[in-house]
Structure 1
Amino acid sequence: MKQVTINPWTWQDQLGYAQAVEIPQASHTLYCAGQAAMDPDGRPVATDMDGQIKLGLDNLETVLAKAGYSLTNVVRLNFYTTSVEQFFAGYGQVIDRLAQAGCRPSGTLMEVKALAFPQLAIEFEATAVR
């Protein structure tokens, strides 16, 4: 899959994302529902932000793999969190995990009042192409 990263500036590089990603002639697109710290039976897992980031990304990778994709295919990754401050404290693991996959998606970070369950603090919403 050919990707063209569009970054008119350099400041976003330290945050591990792109201002825009163009995929000329993508043949398949996968729109993933928000993935959070949920166990295999659909119950929220109460843990700190670091644990929720890890499990949310694990769940995202599980969905991607089931559809024949990986983090490498993600071109847009939105973050919904109940605390931007706590999220940024654990953001290093997000950058590391995406970098290991060769993934530099576009995306948006939003602080929200609540997620689907009160135990949840972060949710990842992805779009992947191949």
Structure 2
Amino acid sequence: MTVELMHPDGMLEQTDYSPVAVGTGSRLVLLAGQAGVTPDFKPAAPDLAGQVHAALRNIVIGVRGAGGDVGDLARLTFYIVGWVPEMWNEVLAGIARAQESEGLPAPMPPLSIIGVAALFTPDFVVEIEATAVLG
């Protein structure tokens, strides 16, 4: 594993994701924003939780395609249409599904959520960018 997830003393106490990731590999993988879509560009689900799950699955496919795995993920940035904090539980539900089906770590790597007005098409409600460090 090339990424060590950390939670230094004195930082905000949280359990869903680690605030710090330290990469020790030699290859940096930058994934373009992944929406919750099927390979034929159709929404994988109508709801936020389903699209978060599908977008994370697409990220795992990308990281594995680059020769890495889920333990190499160092950072995630979520872009969510119409973000309000009340959406957090749906985001967590999608993450939990991806942790179960794709083996993503718990807690997750550092993540940020940015609210946006729109994505590529109105059918998409989330897009997730990822950074991974491979050995």
**TM-score above 0.5, yes or no:** yes
1:12 matched to which residue of 2? 14
> C-alpha separation between the residues in 2 aligned to 1:66 and 1:33?
13
Q: The residue matched to 1:34 in structure 2 has which SS?
A: strand
Deviations 1:90-117 (A, max 9, x none): 1333156458433531221111001111
Using the size of structure 2 for normalisation, the TM-score is 0.78
- d(CA) in 1 for partners of 2:3, 2:115: 32
Mark the CA change 1:67 to 1:86 in structure 2 (over 3 Å): closer, same or farther: farther
Unaligned runs of 5+ in 1: none
RMSD of equivalent CA atoms: 2.4
Report the alpha carbon displacement of residue 89 of structure 1 after superposing the two structures with TM.
2.5
Taking the aligned partners of 1:35 and 1:3, their CA distance within structure 2 comes to: 23
> Matches of 1:70 and 1:62 in 2, distance apart?
9
Return the match for 1:119 from 89, 114, 123.
Answer: 123
Q: Per the alignment, in what secondary structure is the counterpart of residue 91 of structure 1?
A: helix
Change beyond 3 A, Cα 1:22–1:78: same
Deviation at 1:12, TM superposition (A): 2.4
SS of 1:109's equivalent? strand
Aligned pair partner of 2:112 in 108, 111, 116:
108
Aligned residues between the structures: 127
Who is 2:33 aligned against?
A: 34
3-state DSSP of counterpart to 2:128: strand
Alignment TM-score, normalising by the size of structure 1: 0.81
After TM superposition, list the pairs within 5 Å mapping 1:1-130 onto structure 2: 1=2, 3=4, 5-7=6-8, 8-13=10-15, 16-24=16-24, 26-45=25-44, 47-82=46-81, 83-85=83-85, 87-93=87-93, 94-95=95-96, 97-98=98-99, 100-102=103-105, 104-130=108-134
The residue type paired with residue 57 of structure 2 is: D
Paired residues of 1:46 and 1:119 also in contact (CA < 8 A):
no
Per the alignment, do residues 97 and 42 of structure 1 end up closer, same or farther by CA in structure 2, a change over 3 Å counting? closer
Q: Output the CA distance in 2 between the equivalents of 1:2 and 1:62.
A: 18
Whether the aligned pair in 2 keeps the contact of 1:6 and 1:22 (CA below 8 Å) is: no
